[in-house]
Amino acid sequence: MGISAGGHAAFYHAITRTDLYSSVTVLSGAMDLRGYAGAVGLDYWIGPRNPAFFRRYKERSCLVLAAEHTGALPFALALEAGNKDGALEQMEAFRRVLDAKGIAYHWHVGTGGHNWTFWKSRADDVLAWHVKQFDLNRREGLYTEKAAAAPADLEVIKGPPKIRLSDAARARLQAPWTEAGALKPVKTGGIPDEGAPLRKSSKDAKYAEAKFGADLPAAGHAAGLFVYRLTLVVAAPMPNAGTIALTGTLRNDRRQHILRTPAAALPVAAGQGRRKVEVRTRLAVELKEPDPIRGGIVLAVQPFDADGRPVGQPVVGEARPGTVALERWPLAPRARTLWQVTLKGEDALPLAAVHEARLEAEP
């Protein structure tokens, strides 16, 4: 079974390895990749639009492979699509090829689009159809216990691997906070000119948190590490030392949620009342290899003290392999962040106000 580009893969593998497959379902299949190559947001999944790739698309096109096939298919075939499905046109084109060859197949058009709502609605029926095909194959003696040896070794993935902050990213995050040249300012917005007052406990939601956002230069489908310096200018009316809590949310360029970090405690040194201090934090966005099974995205926050030394370990948020959140990234692969500052935790200041948020990209 396969969905979308995976529907193409399901038919392609079955028609090229007839010794392995006895029943195939294509749901909302992209049956000729030439129709999608180079489309915005799909180059991650499909590939670029150039002559070299087009030759490969044609060689592997399900429409071409079906047109070249002679006789009945060596497997049962079911085709599924939604009535508002963007892939319905290609599924209909694939049907016309099969009809012209006199190839039998099962066809179903349901209510829905190119999305998980439709695919989940069809899951029970699709699986039941495959059970029926397995039973039929056994009764007709077509079932084999062992397939012929594959021409190449196959990697068996038992589950998506865990991702973590790389050693290189950790070293960058925890490097001393020294003066550095060539820092590139990143525009932030959300902190009012008069500042954003905070209270540790307040019934007024206006004073419970301060929020600001920034569009980061971190972008693209390739692996990469992007490091930033975030400086908050905080007013502390009381002389107490304490902390403020910083939580980050990472979205893609369509503002779809990717991940959220746990709250990081940023230290504020003791001093005179009504003082303003700079609270220093280094951020890192690490894009893993662009693979929905092995890939991942990490957003890390590293607090620093007034002397420029890292405090504790980085606080990390992750978009893990195999998750819907990670699959959203290729659709609009640019980082948008929303940051939330609150007075939470055992050592939180009793009162504070955030007056400025300066963000700079490190080279």
Residue 173 sits in the same domain as residue 282: yes
> Whole-prediction pTM value?
0.70
> Domain for residue 123, yes or no?
yes
pLDDT at 187: 96
pLDDT in tens, the chain (363 residues): 999 989 999 999 999 988 788 899 999 999 998 877 766 666 666 666 777 777 888 888 999 999 999 999 989 999 999 999 999 999 999 999 999 999 999 999 999 999 989 999 999 999 999 999 988 888 887 766 665 666 667 777 777 778 899 999 999 999 999 877 789 999 999 999 899 999 887 777 788 999 999 999 999 888 999 999 999 999 999 999 999 999 999 999 999 999 999 999 999 999 999 999 999 999 999 999 877 667 899 999 999 999 999 999 999 999 988 788 888 888 788 999 999 999 999 899 999 999 999 999 999
Rounded to whole angstroms, the Cα distance separating 76 from 92 reads 18
Residue 198 sits in the same domain as residue 338: yes
Residue 76 sits in the same domain as residue 200: no
pLDDT at 145: 63
Look at the alpha carbons of 28, 31, 34, 38 in this order and tell me if their dihedral is positive or negative: positive
> Domain for residue 197, yes or no?
yes
Residue 206 sits in the same domain as residue 345: yes
Rounded to whole angstroms, the Cα distance separating 363 from 291 reads 26
Residue 59 sits in the same domain as residue 176: no
Residue 349's H or E segment, with its range, is: none
For residue 60, give the CATH number of its domain: 3.40.50.1820
> Domain for residue 188, yes or no?
yes
CA distances 236 to 72, 230, 266, Å, are 78, 19, 13
Q: Which range of residues forms the domain containing residue 79?
A: 2-139
CA distances 333 to 45, 290, 320, 327, 329, Å, are 13, 11, 16, 10, 5
> Domain for residue 145, yes or no?
no
Q: Which of 299, 285, 286, 279 is nearest to 355 (CA)?
A: 279
- Pseudo-torsion of CA 83, 110, 94, 11, nearest 10°? 130
**Total number of domains in the chain:** 2
HEC-encoded secondary structure of 48-89: CCCHHHHHHHHHHCHHHHHHHCCCCCCCEEEEEEECCCCCHH
Largest CA distance in the chain: 88
Rounded to whole angstroms, the Cα distance separating 135 from 127 reads 12
188 Cα distance to chain centroid = 23
Asked if 337 and 214 touch (Cβ cutoff 8 Å), the reply is: yes
Q: Per-residue DSSP letters for 282-320?
A: EEEEEE--S-TTT--EEEEEEEB-TTS-B-SSPEEEEE-
